[in-house]
A and B are shown apart, each in its own frame.
Chain A
């Protein structure tokens, strides 16, 4: 699947708006995903520092 197909199907306008202003050092496609994620309001449960470290280890371990 091409990125353009994904963007054109649902996020073309957002991508173009981001791309026109993107001076963040981050790819416009990533910025679109960040904006969408932030807008969704779906965050994990809060983790303490130790819980966060364990979570990172487990996550990275899954992918070797």
Chain B
């Protein structure tokens, strides 16, 4: 069955939704990098005009397979800065819904080019033994 077409001249509307982990991740990222707020607005503006336009050359689906494809089949990751990424999903048309999962820093995660998975795994193990400061 053919997809209904939108008449020329009628723009595709875009709406944004945030998930339950968005606020926590954003506040954490903003504390370290206040300039990220403007980058998020730049991302919002670009995606509002055309959600299919990549936000830079690193706006791509996850590389991984397995569990990420199983649980996050539509997830995309775009670099807001070289050290901070936004994770989101796109769905639908007019409106296109952009679901925002969170904003995450990876400056200390061995994410040079190419990503150093070994450093990431070592850091994850080290973090697993650190205490969370819940009162901050």
Q: Tell me whether A46 and B95 are in contact (CB under 8 A).
A: yes
Task: Across the interface, name the chain B residue whose C-beta is closest to A7.
Answer: B128
The digit string for A38-60, where 1 denotes a CB below 8 A from any CB of B, is 11101111111101110111011
Q: Tell me whether B67 and A17 are in contact (CB under 8 A).
A: yes
Bound form: Cα–Cα A27–B120 in Å: 7
Q: Which residues of A contact B30 (CB under 8 A)?
A: 60, 63
Q: Which residues of B contact A2 (CB under 8 A)?
A: 129-132
Q: Tell me whether B14 and A49 are in contact (CB under 8 A).
A: yes
The answer to whether residues A42 and B20 also contact, given A25-B111, A29-B128, A52-B44 and a CB cut-off of 8 A, is yes
Interface extent on B, as a size class? 35 or more
Q: Is B66 part of the contact surface with A, judged by Cβ < 8 Å?
A: yes
* Nearest chain A CB to B31 CB, angstrom units: 8
* Nearest chain B CB to A32 CB, angstrom units: 10
Bound form: Cα–Cα A6–B132 in Å: 10
Q: Tell me whether B26 and A38 are in contact (CB under 8 A).
A: no
Of the residues A21, A23, A28, A33, contact of B21 by C-beta under 8 Å: A33
Q: Which residues of A contact B40 (CB under 8 A)?
A: 56
Bound form: Cα–Cα A22–B99 in Å: 22
The answer to whether residues A44 and B17 also contact, given A23-B115, A35-B72, A63-B30 and a CB cut-off of 8 A, is yes
The answer to whether residues A38 and B72 also contact, given A26-B109, A46-B97, A49-B14 and a CB cut-off of 8 A, is yes
Q: Tell me whether A49 and B16 are in contact (CB under 8 A).
A: yes
Q: Tell me whether B128 and A25 are in contact (CB under 8 A).
A: no
Q: Which residues of B contact A51 (CB under 8 A)?
A: 16
Q: Tell me whether A19 and B121 are in contact (CB under 8 A).
A: yes
